[in-house]
Amino acid sequence: MWAPDPGFDSREAEGTMSSDGYRAGAKVLAQMGHSLDAQVLFTQLTELAELARAVPDLTIVLNHLAGLWRDGPFAGRDDEVLPAWKKGLAEVAACPNIYLKLGGIGMPRFGFDWYTRDKPIGSEDLAKEMAWVIEPCIEAFGPERCMFESNFPPDKVSFSHPVLYNAFKRFSKGYSPTERANMFHDTAAKAYRITYAD
């Protein structure tokens, strides 16, 4: 993750994913049949899409709702942040080798107040309150390229693991059995090439 704002805790240098060394490493991963988990800021989604197009044989798993960030230097800027995030979502979703993890939403950076509450949020309310950020992701990628993500222990600042998974179950009730199977299991098994012995 990288951002030009000095108030943002950048973890890499600007343009890391575009560097020759990074792309060479990505090609080696693809040749070995491995995947790459990417944790980026929403402002870097164009760069990630460029990487995906440059190395089309590499499976990329994009973490944490495509890097949405609504606190710190991005707090109170939803009118700028959300359109930019949705534009980036569309760009990465156009790359068939990118899958998306639906999770990490309990971290304070998503801008929800759940971690500040005296009484923890329950699964019914969580399912309702998280829907507006999860639905655009599923609409962009389709259930066949989305997977629910626990992200524990970081998410436990806001809710427990059972509450989150019950919220995922409640949230997804309107989807078909096949779509739910994708988001709870099949997409992850495909993206990570998980096979089961008979």
121 found inside a domain? yes
1 found inside a domain? no
pTM for the whole thing?
0.95
7 pLDDT band, cuts 50/70/90, is confident
**Domain that includes residue 166, residue range:** 35-191
Show the beta-strand stretches assigned E in 17-172: 35-38, 59-62, 98-102, 146-148
Residue 198 has pLDDT above 70, yes or no: no
What's the total number of domains in the chain? 1
* CATH number, position 67: 3.20.20.140
195 pLDDT band, cuts 50/70/90, is confident
pLDDT in tens, 19-77: 999 999 999 999 999 999 999 999 999 999 999 999 999 999 999 999 999 999 999 99
187 found inside a domain? yes
Cβ atoms within 10 A of the Cβ of 187, count? 24
Give the per-residue pLDDT at 13. 86
6 found inside a domain? no
Residue 190 has pLDDT above 70, yes or no: yes
13 found inside a domain? no
10 found inside a domain? no
% of residues, the chain, pLDDT over 70: 99
Instruction: Give CA–CA dist 96/78, Å, rounded.
Output: 28
8 found inside a domain? no
User: Which residue would you say has higher pLDDT here, 162 or 198?
Assistant: 162
Residue 176 has pLDDT above 70, yes or no: yes
Question: Chain-centre distance of CA 84, in angstroms?
Answer: 15
Q: Reduce the DSSP state of residue 159 to 3 states and report it.
A: coil
Instruction: Give CA–CA dist 125/166, Å, rounded.
Output: 11
Instruction: Give CA–CA dist 92/60, Å, rounded.
Output: 10
For the chain, give me the number of helices (H) and strands (E)?
8, 4
Instruction: Give CA–CA dist 15/47, Å, rounded.
Output: 8
Query: For residue 36, what are the β-bridge partners?
Result: 60
74 found inside a domain? yes
User: Which residue would you say has higher pLDDT here, 68 or 9?
Assistant: 68
